[in-house]
Amino acid sequence: MDLLTSEAKNKWYPVYTHARAEKKAYEALINKGILAYLPLHRQLKQWSDRKKWVEEPFIKSYLFVNIAEHAQTEVLMTKGISRFLYFSGKPATMPDRQINELKLLMTSSLDLEITEENLQPGEKIIIKAGPLKGLTGEVIIYRSQKQLILRLESIGRSIIVHVAASYIERF
């Protein structure tokens, strides 16, 4: 079997790492010759005596490996790797297109944030913190954690509100 044929059968798998072990697990995979991708973003960290720009994992406790199905055991035997993610009883895979789109996003200068909130247009919410605390509204568009467009019922108008998703709550 030639190299091109075996590469064509490789798929991208998301894997879960031990807490705060993403970079070490990534390095261990690379050292084993496994193609891996760890999305990183620059973040300004504040310590008591200084500030510093650091590269942080964009998706905490996750990285992606491009392997053939039979190589899963080798990945699991890598220090820092916890498990594969499963969907319908089988290890989850991601299309190449999604990995390429994620890589493109990570190289852009956009201010990106990730949230576990899965807000949908039409959901009723209340703002629980910040200067708009107590206002109720409806999600019109949910673009990102910082760009939430709400219809604020209390004033009978639609207003574009840039509010962190962590400041809102469903009701």
Q: Which residue has the higher pLDDT, 13 or 59?
A: 13
pLDDT mean across residues, the chain = 79
In this prediction, residue 19 carries a pLDDT of 95
Torsion angle of alpha carbons 76, 104, 143, 117, nearest 10°? Answer: 10
DSSP string, 58-89: SSTTEEEEEE-GGGHHHHHTSTTEEEE-EETT
Which of these, 88, 77, 82, 70, lies nearest to 14 by C-alpha position?
82
Model confidence pLDDT, tens digit, residues 100-154: 878 877 886 656 656 566 667 778 877 787 666 776 777 766 655 545 555 544 3
How far, in Å, CA of 102 to CA of 89, rounded?
A: 25
**Collapsed DSSP state (helix, strand, coil) of residue 24:** helix
How far, in Å, CA of 47 to CA of 143, rounded?
A: 31
Asked if residue 158 has pLDDT above 60, the reply is no
Q: Which domains does the chain have, with CATH numbers?
A: 3-107 (3.30.70.940), 124-170 (2.30.30)
* pTM: predicted TM-score of the whole model, two decimal places: 0.68
What are the phi and psi torsion angles at 88 (to 5°)?
55, 40
In this prediction, residue 29 carries a pLDDT of 98
How far, in Å, CA of 34 to CA of 29, rounded?
A: 5
